[in-house]
Amino acid sequence: MSLSCQRDKALVSPDPQSIQLPELELALVGKVGMEDFVMMQWFTLPDSTRIRINELKLYLSDIELQNTSGNWISVEPYKFFDLSRSHVPSKVQHNKGERLTLNPPAGTYQAIRFGMGLAPKYNGLDPTVFPNSHDLSVYQGMYWDWNSGYRFFLMEGLQDTSSIGSLGEPVPFAYHLGTDSLFETLEYEFNEIQLSSNRGGALPPALDLELDLVKIFYSSTDTIRPAIEPVTHTSGNYPLAKRINHQLHHAWKVFAE
Q: Residue 21 falls within a domain, yes or no?
A: no
Q: Give pLDDT < 50 ranges for the chain.
A: 1-11, 16-17
Whole-prediction pTM: 0.88
Looking at the structure of the chain, the number of domains it has is 1
Q: Residue 55 falls within a domain, yes or no?
A: yes
Q: Residue 149 falls within a domain, yes or no?
A: yes
Q: Residue 201 falls within a domain, yes or no?
A: no
Q: Residue 90 falls within a domain, yes or no?
A: yes
Q: Residue 81 falls within a domain, yes or no?
A: yes
pLDDT of 9: 45
What is the residue range of 127's domain?
42-108+117-196+241-257
Q: Residue 83 falls within a domain, yes or no?
A: yes
pLDDT of 85: 81
Backbone torsion region of residue 163, taken as left when φ is above 0, otherwise alpha when ψ lies between -120 and 50, otherwise beta: alpha
pLDDT of 97: 78
Which residue in 158, 139, 138 sits closest to 149, CA to CA? 138
Per-residue pLDDT of 83-121, as tens digits, reads 988 776 655 555 567 889 999 999 999 999 999 999 999
Q: Residue 166 falls within a domain, yes or no?
A: yes
